[in-house]
Amino acid sequence: MKKKLKVSVIIPVYNENNYILEILNRVNEQKKIIDMQIIVSDDCSNDGTLEKLKENSNLYDDLITSSRNLGKGNAISKSILQVKGDIIIIQDADLEYSPKDYAKIIFPFAELGADVVYGNRFTNNGYQRLHYFFNKVANRIITLMTSLITNINFSDVEVGYKAFKTDIIRTIDIKEKSFGFEIEITKKVSKIKNIKIFEVPIDYNGRSLEEGKKIRLKDAFVAIYCIFRY
Full strand arrangement of the beta sheet holding 36-42: 62-65, 36-42, 7-13, 87-90, 162-165, 116-120, 197-201
Reference 214, options 45, 53, 77; nearest CA is 45
Q: What is the pLDDT of residues 42-89, one digit of tens each?
A: 999 999 999 999 999 999 999 999 999 999 999 999 999 999 999 999
Q: What is the pLDDT of residues 83-127, one digit of tens each?
A: 999 999 999 998 999 999 999 999 999 999 999 999 998 876 677
Coil vs helix vs strand at 15: coil
Name the architecture of domain 7-130+158-179+193-208. Answer: Alpha-Beta Complex (3.90)
CB of 11 closer than 8 Å to CB of 24: yes
Q: CA angle 31-88-207, nearest 5°?
A: 80
Q: What percent of the chain has pLDDT over 90?
A: 74
In whole numbers, what is the pLDDT of the chain averaged over residues?
A: 90
CB of 110 closer than 8 Å to CB of 34: no
pLDDT interval class at 1 (50, 70, 90): very low
Question: Hey, what amino acid is at 225?
Answer: Y
What's this model's pTM, rounded to 2 decimal places?
Answer: 0.88
Q: In a 10 Å sphere around its CB, with 0-12 CB exposed, 13-18 middle and 19+ buried, how is residue 50 labelled?
A: buried
Angle between helical axes of 181-190 and 133-150 (0-180°, round to 10): 30
Domain limits, the chain? 7-130+158-179+193-208
DSSP conformation letters of 93-124: SSSSS-GGGHHHHHHHHHHH--SEEEEESSS-
